Amino acid sequence: MRGPDDEAPVLCSYRRGDWQPSLDTAPLPGATRARLALVPHIVAHSDRRWWDGIRADLPPLSGRRELVLSALELFRHGTVTIGGIGPQSADAFRAALWESAGLPGPLVERWGAMLYEGAARRETVAPDDALALVALPGNTFTCLDSVLEQAERSACVWVRPSRREPLSAARLLAALLAVGWPPARLGLYPTEQHTLHGLLKLTDRHVVYGGSGLAASVRDSPALALHGPGRGCALVPPGTGAGAAGAAGAADPLDPVDPLDRVDSVDSVDDMVAWLLPLIAADSGRFCSNVRTVVCVDHDPEPLAKALAAALDALHPGPAPDPADPRWPLTAFRDPAEADRAAASVRDRLRPGDHLLTREPTVVTGTGVGTRTGGDVYVRPQLALLRTDPAAPSHPLIGHEVPFPFAAVLGATADAARALADEALFVYRPPATPGGAP
């Protein structure tokens, strides 16, 4: 007897130069009933032996940068053919990401443009003979930039997509194939979580994205570039009480950041809110570079925290899949239980004396045009004011990363602020002039 999943599309893996089905599958999020073909470790082990046997006979691949940029044009605007899915237009891709991953249209467009701009600017390197592995996260497909970097640098790249969002990785591989990238030099290896460690042993160079748990489990692997939590931190220097509107940049983590630097041209809470809001809320708070901690150095954090909370409360999801304000859209959660867990991870870390200053309901259901049956579930932005020792702030919400906009605001002495900045990969200070570069 045929079951209900027999007619559901199965997104194939890509192995040995072809799209491959599998007896092992996992459901994709959302209501499409689509499934994902999984690659067992024993199969990947056999594929490594196959690669070792054919790589010496492959002709050199020239013009990699031109192929990458052509593929990204197809990825963003064209129609490609994906194993198990068939032809997929740009509009169909956008619709699929909304249905399965809750990504609104403006984010898909923005992230696609970021991929192209990053690839066009990247310094070219001479390729080597390595088999590279890139293990992707599910929070954003901008990390496909690492796939493109390794494709240009390596003899072959295997991509392990997130099971929560494998569609973008499959589309990128299909685009590379469509512009003439040699099939044997690419692989798409969706796996169970425990199989990742086996893939690390099978490949020569590794780029791994993941949260703190995954980072701890793989950090000792050789030839590993690990992208873990960013713990984004914004410093509000003394003498400002606020900051300047406009874009601010992340400091190099190796470059000393002095929170005592005064910014005399900025003097209003409104200016500081205008500066901080996109750092917290852009990209639906899903980037490791988003600000999670706002440190007010040697001044009362409460006025800024209250104003910033009101600004975050004003961000509402619009009619799905496109929000009313495309600058800072919110993503929808396809698993309501995941939304509840993400929101609770903030609430459960609050301590006596802390205040959650955002007043809007945390988990909400959208009812706009284009929403799924039952509505789309969102986690609205949150902001917490922490009561800690300014000389030695320690709190589980400092640097806490969740898949929605969230920030903790606290006061700290200059020495304590320096210590917090040292723990962050991304540190932001107000620009030197209103609306200017930092």
> Residues 36-45: pLDDT tens digits?
999 999 999 9
pLDDT range class, residue 137, cuts 50, 70, 90: very high
CA distances, 285 to each of 111, 156, 251, 293, 395 (Å): 13, 33, 19, 12, 20
pLDDT range class, residue 318, cuts 50, 70, 90: low
What number is the average pLDDT over the span 88-110? 94
State the Cα–Cα distance between residues 137 and 215, nearest whole angstrom. 12
What's the start-to-end Cα distance of the chain, in Å? 65
CB atoms within 10 A of CB 208: 25
Is residue 51 predicted with pLDDT exceeding 50? yes
What are the E-state strand segments in 203-280?
A: 205-209, 224-227, 232-236, 250-251
Is residue 65 predicted with pLDDT exceeding 50? yes
State how far Cα 41 lies from the chain centre.
Answer: 26
State the Cα–Cα distance between residues 428 and 438, nearest whole angstrom. 8
Residue 237, pLDDT score: 87
Q: Which DSSP symbol is given to 247?
A: -
State the Cα–Cα distance between residues 103 and 323, nearest whole angstrom. 11
CA distances, 424 to each of 38, 146, 251, 428 (Å): 35, 21, 10, 10
Question: Percent of the chain scored above 70 by pLDDT?
Answer: 84
Is residue 46 predicted with pLDDT exceeding 80? yes
State the Cα–Cα distance between residues 101 and 95, nearest whole angstrom. 10
Closest CA to 297 of 329, 330, 258: 258
- Rounded to the nearest 10 degrees, how much is the dihedral formed by the CA atoms of 351, 353, 354, 357? 150
Residue 30, pLDDT score: 82
What number is the average pLDDT over the span 302-325? 82
What number is the average pLDDT over the span 368-394? 83
Is residue 230 predicted with pLDDT exceeding 60? yes
Q: Which residues, in sequence order, are CB contacts of 279 under 8 Å at separation 6+?
A: 232, 234, 248, 290, 291, 428
> Residues 243-270: pLDDT tens digits?
333 333 344 333 344 444 443 334 589 9
Phi first, then psi: give them for residue 11, nearest 5 degrees.
-70, 120
Is residue 433 predicted with pLDDT exceeding 50? no
What number is the average pLDDT over the span 5-22? 89
Residue 219, pLDDT score: 61
Residue 325, pLDDT score: 63
Is residue 372 predicted with pLDDT exceeding 60? no
Average pLDDT of the chain, as a whole number: 87
Tokens coding 236: 């509000």
> At which residue do the structure tokens 């205040």 appear?
355
Is residue 383 predicted with pLDDT exceeding 70? yes
Total-model pTM: 0.87
Out of 79-93, 394-408, 422-436, which region has the weakest mean confidence (pLDDT)? 422-436
Is residue 4 predicted with pLDDT exceeding 60? no
DSSP secondary structure letters along 105-132 = HHHHHHHHHHHHHHHHHSPP----S-EE
